Amino acid sequence: MINSLFLISHSGDIFLEKHWKSVISRSVCDYFLEAKEKAGDPENVAPVLQTPHHYLISIYRGKLFFLSVTQTEVPPLFVIEFLHRVADTFQDYFGDCSEVLIKENTVTVYELLEEMLDNGFPLATESNVLKEMIRPPTILRSVVNTLTGGSNVGGTLPTGQLSNVPWRRAGVKYTNNEAYFDVIEEIDAILDKSGTTVFAEIQGVIEACVKLTGMPDLTLSFMNPRLLDDVSFHPCVRFKRWESEHVLSFIPPDGNFRLMSYHVSSQNLVAIPVYVKQNISFLETGSCGRLDITIGPKQTMGKTVESLMVTIPMPKSVLSVNLTATQGTYTFDLTTKVVLWDVGKLNPQKLPNLRGSISIQTGAPKPEENPSINIDMKLQQLAISGLKVSRLDMYGEKYKPFKGVKYVTKAGKFQVRT
Amino acid sequence: MTDSKYFTTTKKGEIFELKAELNSDKKEKKKEAVKKVIASMTVGKDVSALFPDVVNCMQTDNLELKKLVYLYLMNYAKSQPDMAIMAVNTFVKDCEDPNPLIRALAVRTMGCIRVDKITEYLCEPLRKCLKDEDPYVRKTAAVCVAKLHDINAQLVEDQGFLDTLKDLISDSNPMVVANAVAALSEIAESHPNSNLLDLNPQTINKLLTALNECTEWGQIFILDCLANYTPRDDRESQSICERVTPRLSHANSAVVLSAVKVLMKFMEMLPKDLDYYGTLLKKLAPPLVTLLSAEPELQYVALRNINLIVQRRPEILKHEMKVFFVKYNDPIYVKLEKLDIMIRLASQANIAQVLAELKEYATEVDVDFVRKAVRAIGRCAIKVEQSAERCVSTLLDLIQTKVNYVVQEAIVVIKDIFRKYPNKYESVIATLCENLDSLDEPEARAAMIWIVGEYAERIDNADELLESFLEGFHDESTQVQLQLLTAIVKLFLKKPTETQELVQQVLSLATQDSDNPDLRDRGYIYWRLLSTDPVAAKEVVLAEKPLISEETDLIEPTLLEELICHIGTLASVYHKPPSAFVEGSRGVQHKRLPGSAGSGESVESPDTGSAAGVSDAPPAVIPSQGDLLGDLLNLDLTPPATTGPPPPATSGMQLGAMDLLGGGLDSLLGGDLGGSSAMGAGFGAPPAAPAASFSAPVSGGLDDLFDLGGGVGMPMGAYSPPKTVWLPAMKGKGLEISGTFARRAGVIQMEMTLTNKAMSVMTDFAIQFNRNSFGLAPAGPLQVLTPLSPNQSIEVTLPLNTVGPVMKMDPLNNLQVAVKNNIDVFYFSCQYPISMLFVEDGKMERQVFLATWKDISNDNEAQFQIKDCHLSSDAVSNKLQGSNIFTIAKRTVDGQDMLYQSTKLSNGIWVLAELRVQTGNPTFTVCLKCRAPEVSQCVFQSYDAVLKN
């Protein structure tokens, strides 16, 4: 099981350690730092490392490494999942998962880690349960605490842990009862030079924000549940009901949670909202090249493409670019060599275009690789897979809740090869 | 207000100040002080000096303060054991607190204080907590047992906590069950054979019930525990699978992968024709694909596991190629793994897509990735024959880019393609030669040199090319030097007239100017070979090479089986069995997949049959007789096709070594040296003199050995040794062969039991022998008509004759055998009892016996003793006759029986014997006379074996 956790900044500074069993010297991190040095880019550090006496399993989140040390055979996915959960919890508690915030809240962090793991076994990882035991710091509460001498630590037993619904705390009360569901879909796609789809899939999630009094039992049904053949559910969802009736039946946790995630992979179902006409070329002689990109709408299902953003990582030998954008603004980062073009809303009448020249270091050879173009965008009120919620029913409580469903489609890893 | 203020107290006298604050009367001040102490501790500052002061704050009603003090205690109790005792009382009191949260907290914290003295006080409260009415306390106590075990294992056993823990598996609360399982699993890891988790259908049922209701982490522990269970039959297996399948839709990827492990393992037991089996296969694909949309770290572990799953059951993901396509911003470790799986999934159906992708990758930025992509193109060519041509043209396109590392990598893989498809793509050699100068990596240089040597006859300026390499011979790496030596020898054998000087030069460079023993040995062997028998040299150096196959980079089936049982663990990430790396792996048990229940139904559905290992044509072909020798010797030397230096040179060396002996033998036997001795004339003897050893083993009368004689006779109870294992399953990719030899009704038979211990069906068996001392050869093909299903055994009898090619072996009765099946070719050697070569007409006339006895010189007489034999001389005589050792005369002198016996070997060699048996003395003396005294030792062994059985 998990022995120890080290938090390491991306510059390699170990700023927090927590041991759940015997103390392991922080010198064990040297193996990791060595691997990090070798990998260059922090994202490229292999997540599972072996040292003579320990195994180091790490994740990289928010420019921080969460490095766990184990001594025995453990399922690495278990450790990685847990580390992500730790990062999620920090984010949930402090608004972000950064070195500064963690240092500001060390005692809370320490208390949280103590509650989340016992002797290496996960103890309480549900945010509902944790919040019952350790209250998240808020400005108001810290003021109140200083005045009254109250504390962040709850004195009650986390009752949810014992019931059949360990994810929900008991005795929830709201004056406004509301339940919101966001259907968020991300398109992962690779398009080749000519615009043909090499690969495309949709990663969808349903994020819920449920603030309902008591123990409500909800049933969410879809117009077209057959779309969903590859799903993963929050533990609260009754799998049997899904298998037999294709409805989501559950007692929700209190607050924000991810109800389900799904995956639509059959390619004909994946609509590609934009097309990209591009030409990036480097001249064989002389140290320059040309760039010309136009973006137009393709299958947008009648919605407007918003927050359109184009990222082009240029070859390292590129010195500067001189471009003109017909819409939006562009920037070129001299150190990372990334062209970032913030287009904004896509107007089908007047297609945005970015063109101009690229200059390369004199004497450098013609770059061998072709940059890929990364597209970011958003389409409101649309789940591109066509998924639609038909109704939400509540049982077990008398009151009438306020219900809402929102759809949004975004680009995930949407890449165009050149 | 944030906690960062606690970090500002780095000034002098900090400890002193804190001490004062801790002892303050004000509650609030105290708490703030403890917080400061904790903050300092968190960042690794030593605040242990404050121990007594902090412990004093423990007795408080404020839960937060209590928790903070507990935190502190856990950290520093170890360094202050005496002080820590002060805290014991509070703990014991807290364990009785009416609030279960406090009880649990107390027992939890106590377990974390790793001080021996404290553990003794812990036992009583722990025992109470394990039986607490509140499940939250029980579950915490379960984990505490594991903690205590870590500190003092003996204590835990003595106090009977392990039994209590086992009882908790039947607890009514799923969370308690999960924690009990987790604790037991952890304890079991340090007692691999303790059988702590004694799984039976009842406990399994309890676990499956708890599985539905416990937390995600508990599910992981339970699933991992379930995976260790072996169901009694396929029905139980199916019912477990059905109850585990819903876990595939869990949001936690570790739960998903653990469920996949259970299913992959229990699936083995399901009959393949069951509808449910097909359903299950279909259900496995989507969750595995979903794992790939998670965070990169999770993807990496998932990919390593998918790599195993794809090798075991390629049908699961065969339509999911696209999800493994690489995105440019994937971390490099994900990219490399995806590439590996793409090659495994490549088939004729999707090869066009794969190649287009690979070509795209070959223009990426990351050098490691580009190299691997180029290599992958070569592997595709070797795997999917139909695509070879496209792969080669893709590689040529890449060579045109002139990007240095791309060119070098391409040349290395083209060499492999040449070996897989000889005489097909040699037209590209010219293009390759153009790039000779740009090669600076040893592997690429060695590959290019190999190509030049191998195709010397088609390259007009091969001599110039090789000569150019020779200039810097001593600066080259060993790999290149060895390759250069072999290539030039090849060139010489192909174009002897123009290259004498060159070969002379390389031989002297290798033998005289190099300190590398491998290089020197190989040089000497070539030299010796070329100077004694150039024809043999040609046969050896230019021998036809066994084909390479895609197989080489697959994980060996028994290891794969074990790794499948370890899906989701570190072992599956490293692709090594846990015993290979888990610290102190005291007798870690090797896990095995359960066998299929329907073993009676030996015919599997065709798709699983072909899917099990190779998807294409059977790989390595058994080469013709001559090459088999090379193969037999090459056994351990052939490196994987896509990595390592090219093998032919190595095999050339080994071949040389062996044939050198064979050649020497021939010449000593008076066979003509044959061939153009003019070619060899240019050579003197090599400076060192290993020659003596070549002629040593061959003495006078060996030619007798090689007369061939068949035997016809009556059925008799000849001695046959018990079966022994010749080819263990570990070496035979799951095929185990045990066997023996017998002579029945005058026919020599090889009786074998073939057992399939792999998980796939084996078919297409064939057998060949290497040349051997008595020309033993199969008289017919190996009769294995039905495919051999997993866990099935088959008895095969192979009749042998003695008309095969002859080569003296050491020991004389050694036999090297190659057995082929649809998976691979396996080699083993065994020794046959020479008695099975004793023919039925081996009874000599008395007169002839006498004359022959006198005729054979006394130098050829050998005397042996047979100990501990309690037979009378008549019994001896009868027994030996059963094995065709005939008693011709018996004489009794001074109470000692002298038996005169004759035996004839299948090749016509007569062996005469005088056996002295003294009544009451269990030690017999046997005196053997033969024109070929080499056989005496073997004949004696047969005497010994026959008489003692």
Residue B52's φ and ψ, nearest 5 degrees, are -60, -35
- Tokens 């907590």 -> residue: B129
* Cα B947 from Cα A71, distance rounded (Å): 58
CB contact under 8 A, A162 and B136: yes
Same domain, A129 and A22: yes
| B837-948 shares the fold of B724-832 | no
| Token output for B534 | 């150039």
Q: CA B143 → CA B112, B150, B814, distances in Å?
A: 11, 11, 60
Q: How many domains does chain A have?
A: 3
Q: What is the DSSP string of B758-815?
A: SSS-B---EEEE--BTT--EESS-----S-B-TT-EEEEEEEEES-S-B---SSTTEE
Q: Is the same domain home to A95 and A243?
A: no
B774 vs B812: CA distance, rounded Å = 9
Looking at the fold, whether A235 and A370 belong to one and the same domain comes out as no
Q: What is the pLDDT of residues B812-840, one digit of tens each?
A: 888 888 888 888 888 888 888 888 888 88
Could you tell me if A241 and A307 lie in one domain?
no
Core vs surface per residue A96-117: b (16+ CB within 10 A) or e: ebbbebbbbbbbbbbbbbbbbb
Neighbours of B822 (CB within 10 A): 20
Residue B190 has pLDDT above 80, yes or no: no
Enter the CATH code of domain B724-832: 2.60.40.1150
Question: Is A164 inside a domain boundary?
Answer: no
| Residues in B touching A106 (Cβ below 8 Å) | 3-4, 6-7, 38-39, 42-43
Q: Which residues of A touch B173 (CB under 8 A)?
A: 162
Number of Cβ within 10 Å of residue B163's Cβ equals 10
A103 to B571: CB separation less than 8 angstroms, yes or no: no
DSSP structural state of residue B191: S
Phi and psi based region of residue A257 (left: phi greater than 0; alpha: psi -120 to 50; beta: remaining): beta
CB pairs under 8 A between A and B: 254
Q: Are residues A119 and A247 in the same domain?
A: no
A137 and A15 in a common domain: yes
Residue type, A136: P
Amino acid symbol at B698: V
- Residue B690 DSSP class: -
3-state DSSP call for residue A17? strand
Cα distance between residue B160 and residue B158, in whole Å = 5
Question: ipTM of the assembly?
Answer: 0.84
For chain B, give the mean pLDDT: 78
The dotted CATH code for B837-948 is 3.30.310.10
The model scores a pTM over 0.80? no
Identify which of A77, A82, A157 has the shortest CB distance to residue B568: A77
Q: How far apart are CA B406 and CA B363, in angstroms?
A: 9
DSSP reduced 3-state for B226: helix
Residue B239 to residue B269: CA distance in whole angstroms: 12
Residue B735's contacts (CB-CB under 8 Å, 6 or more residues apart) are B727, B729, B754, B755, B756, B757, B758, B762, B819, B821, B823, B826
Q: What is the pLDDT of residue B731?
A: 78
Cβ separation of B329 and A154 shorter than 8 Å?
Answer: no
CA distance A302 to chain B (A): 28
Give chain B positions within 8 Å (CB) of A315: 365
Handedness of CA B800, B801, B806, B811 (dihedral sign): positive
Same domain, A346 and A390: no
Predicted local distance difference test score (pLDDT) of residue A159: 57
Owning domain of residue A16:
2-148
> From the centroid of its chain, how far is CA B539?
33
B292 DSSP β-pair partners: none
Both A358 and A284 in one domain: the answer is: yes
Q: What is the chain A residue with the closest CA to B36?
A: A107
CB contact under 8 A, B249 and A17: no
C-alpha distance from B570 to closest chain A C-alpha (Å)? 6
Helix (H) or strand (E) holding A127: helix A127-133
CB contact under 8 A, A369 and B582: no
What one-character-per-residue DSSP string does A309-344 give?
EEEEE--TTEEEEEEEESSSEEEEETTTTEEEEEEE
A132 lies in a domain? Answer: yes
- With vertex at residue B729, the alpha carbon angle to CA B727 and CA B730, rounded to the nearest 5 degrees, is 105
Q: Which residues of B touch A158 (CB under 8 A)?
A: 101
CA A155 to each of CA A137, B94, B135, B658: distance values in angstroms, whole numbers, following the listed order: 16, 14, 18, 83
Banded model confidence at residue B606, pLDDT cuts 50, 70, 90: very low
Domain boundaries along the sequence of chain B: 346-438, 441-542, 724-832, 837-948
> Do A229 and A371 fall into the same domain?
no
Q: What CATH number is associated with residue A16? A: 3.30.450.60
Q: Are B65 and B30 in contact (CB under 8 A)?
A: yes
Angle at B469 between CA B466 and CA B471, to 5 degrees: 120
Answer yes or no: do B31 and A74 touch at CB < 8 A: no
The CB density around residue A173, as the number of other CB atoms within 10 Å, is 9
Residues on chain B touching A82 (C-beta within 8 angstroms): 217
- Asked if residue A316 and residue A279 are part of one domain, the reply reads yes
Residue contact B570–A74, C-beta within 8 A = yes
The Cα–Cα gap between A185 and A179 comes to 20
For tokens 């847990």, what's the residue?
Answer: A82
DSSP line for B237-271: HHHHHHHHGGGGGBS-HHHHHHHHHHHHHHHTTS-
In the predicted model, what is the mean pLDDT of residues B328-350?
A: 90
**DSSP strand pairing (A373-380 vs A389-395):** unpaired
The answer on A278 and A218 residing in a single domain is no
Q: Which amino acid is at B821?
A: N
> pLDDT, tens digit, for every residue of B144-171?
998 888 888 888 888 888 888 888 888 8
The verdict on residue A341 lying in a domain is yes
**Phi/psi at B305 (nearest 5 deg)?**
-75, -40
In 10 A of CB A225, how many CB atoms?
17
- Please check whether residue B216 is in contact with residue B252, taking contact to mean a CB–CB distance below 8 angstroms: yes
Verify whether the Cβ–Cβ distance B213 to A164 is below 8 Å: yes
Task: Using the Cα atoms of residue B633, residue B637, residue B640 and residue B641 in order, give the sign of their dihedral.
Answer: negative
Q: Is A307 found in the same domain as A227?
A: no
Q: Examine the pLDDT at B708 and tell me if it is beyond 70.
A: no
- Within a domain: A167: no
Residue linked to tokens 């103890």: A123
Q: B interface mutation test: which of A99, A232, A268, A374 has the most B CBs within 10 A? A: A232
Q: Testing the interface with A: which of B328, B330, B354, B406 to mutate, by most A Cβ within 10 A?
A: B328
Q: What confidence score (pLDDT) does residue A343 get?
A: 92
The answer to whether the Cβ–Cβ distance between B286 and A146 falls below 8 Å is no
Q: Residue A33 forms beta bridges with which residues?
A: none
Cα dihedral sign, B142-B149-B126-A131: negative
Asked if B583 lies within 8 A of A71 by C-beta distance, the reply is yes
C-alpha span between B883 and B359 (Å, rounded): 68
What sign does the dihedral B47-B51-B53-B57 (CA atoms) show?
positive
Closest by alpha carbon to B467, among B423, B503, B512, B416?
Answer: B503
**pLDDT tens for each residue of chain A, 418 residues long:** 888 999 999 888 998 888 888 788 888 899 999 999 988 888 888 899 988 888 999 999 988 999 999 988 888 999 999 999 999 999 988 888 889 888 888 878 888 898 888 888 888 888 877 887 777 776 555 555 555 544 555 555 555 555 667 778 777 888 889 999 999 999 999 888 888 888 888 999 999 999 999 889 999 999 988 888 788 888 889 888 998 899 999 999 888 889 999 988 776 678 899 999 988 888 776 678 889 999 999 888 888 999 999 999 888 888 889 999 999 999 999 888 899 999 999 988 899 999 999 888 877 777 777 788 999 999 999 998 889 999 999 998 889 999 999 999 999 889 998 8
Residue of B nearest to A235 (CA): B250
Locate the chain A residue with the closest alpha carbon to B101: A157
Q: CA of B328: which chain A residue's CA is closest?
A: A372
Closest CA to B741 of B705, B713, B703, B769: B769
Here the CATH number for the domain that contains residue A376 is 2.60.40.1170
